[in-house]
Amino acid sequence: MALFSSLTPVFVAVLCVIIGFIIKNSQKKDESRSKEKRSDGGKVRPWVDEDLQDDTEINSKDNEDDYECLETEDENNLHHIPYTPHQYSASEILERSEKFYSLMNLRRSVRFISPEPVPREVINNVILTAGTAPSGAHTEPWTFVVVTDADVKHKIREIVEEEEEINYKQRMGDKWVHDLKRLRTNWVKEYLDIAPYLILIFKQIHGVHPNGKKKTHYYNEISVSIACGILLAALQNVGLVTVTTTPLNCGPQLRALLQRPANEKLLMLLPVGYPTSDATVPDLKRKDLNDIMVNV
Ligand SMILES: Cc1cc2nc3c(=O)[nH]c(=O)nc-3n(C[C@H](O)[C@H](O)[C@H](O)COP(=O)(O)O)c2cc1C
């Protein structure tokens, strides 16, 4: 009895540790479960990349005091200058609109990319073109990382394939995998080694003022997505191909590999080059004008 009572404090202590361990473990499980769910009815949305922080609001974890408005005289006293672009005749604009549509209608996502070299200046020009995109309050919240180094490309392939295999087998779910089947995509991405260029587009969720304070990047995701669209058009214009990819859950690893700062989130990865001579694409049809346009 004496032995039992002298051991009681030890039992109580051990019991407390066990209970604490159980509570902590169940909290962890709740946390990971709630990561998979969103506020809209708690539906699982596996295509939402947690790292992307899709909202353009200031992150709730951020302190508003960390942010600062434009400060310098130059930034605040912006001159407004005349804008007089060339105006085409009615027949010219019709012809140009038809030609541009024909060009863009030939754009396809191509997953068979040739190693044939592409002049670097062309890549610089298409990125300059992407950088002409409009952006919320002209914040230009984009970073285009151009990778040509074979070792880095291979490391990117390893990261993407490892995560994509988990995505296909575990995260995406039967419906998504089924919907992709006809496109014949999977987690093997040879083009990541082969394409002469990989362009990784990061959205900057905020900027940084020279004094270290954060600068709000309004609508950064929409702005960068528009820039990506212009980049796709610029590539099409020079006869290069790519496939729009959004490597789910690869952002943090790729950001670390490419030594990008924490305010940059991977939005898109574009392998760029010429198509192989035996490239194929799924025979998809596009919607008619009447199916995409509403006249009011
Ligand atoms: C946001 C977005 C993400 C995409 N992600 C992938 C991807 O991860 N892998 C892939 O092979 N294709 C991806 N695609 C390409 C689509 O499958 C392709 O655009 C669609 O099948 C239509 O084909 P098209 O681009 O040839 O017109 C993506 C496209 C978009 C717009």
Bridge partners (DSSP) listed for residue 11: none
- Of the candidates 188, 195, 199, the one whose C-alpha atom is nearest the C-alpha of residue 162 is 188
For residue 180, report the distance from its CA to the centre of ligand 1, in Å. 10
pLDDT tens track of the chain, all 296 residues?
Answer: 454 455 566 566 665 566 655 555 544 444 444 444 444 445 666 666 778 765 554 454 567 778 887 666 667 799 999 999 999 999 999 999 999 999 999 999 999 999 999 999 999 999 999 999 999 999 999 999 999 999 999 999 999 999 999 989 888 888 988 998 899 888 999 999 999 999 999 999 999 999 999 999 999 999 999 999 999 999 999 999 999 999 999 999 999 999 999 999 999 999 999 999 999 999 999 999 999 999 99
Across the chain, which distance is largest between two alpha carbons, in Å? 105
Q: Which of 172, 185, 243 best tests ligand 1's pocket when mutated (most atoms within 8 Å of CB)?
A: 243
Tell me if 46 sits within 8 A of 164, measured CB to CB: no
Cβ of 49 below 6 Å from ligand 1:
no
Q: Which CATH number does 50-54+93-279 carry?
A: 3.40.109.10
Nearest to 158 by CA among 263, 254, 78: 254
The pTM of this model reads 0.83
Any atom of ligand 1 within 6 Å of the Cβ of 185: yes
Instruction: Say if CB 275 and CB 114 are below 8 A apart.
Output: yes
Q: What is the pLDDT of residue 29?
A: 44
Distance 244 CA to ligand 1 centre (A): 5
Q: Does residue 111 contact residue 185 with C-beta atoms inside 8 Å?
A: yes
Phi, psi (deg, nearest 5) at residue 144? -105, 110
| 246 three-class SS | coil
DSSP string, 162-217: HHHHHIIIIISHHHHHHHHHTTT--S--THHHHSSEEEEEEEESEEE-TTS-EEE-
From the CA of 109, how far away is ligand 1's center (Å)? 6
**Ligand 1 contacts CB of residue 188 (under 6 A):** no
Centroid of ligand 1 to alpha carbon of 108 (angstroms) = 9
Q: Whose CA is nearest to atom 4 of ligand 1?
A: 245
Q: Ligand 1 center to residue 262 CA distance, Å?
A: 26
Whole-number Å distance between alpha carbons of 30 and 12: 27
| pLDDT score of 55 | 54
The residue nearest atom 10 of ligand 1, judged by CA position, is 245
C-alpha 135 – ligand 1 centre gap (Å): 23
Tallying the residues shown for the chain, one arrives at 296
d(CA 126, CA 124) in angstroms, rounded, equals 6
Report d(CA 231, CA 133) in Å as an integer: 9
Other beta carbons within 10 Å of 109: 15
Nearest to 246, CA basis, from 223, 220, 263, 221: 221
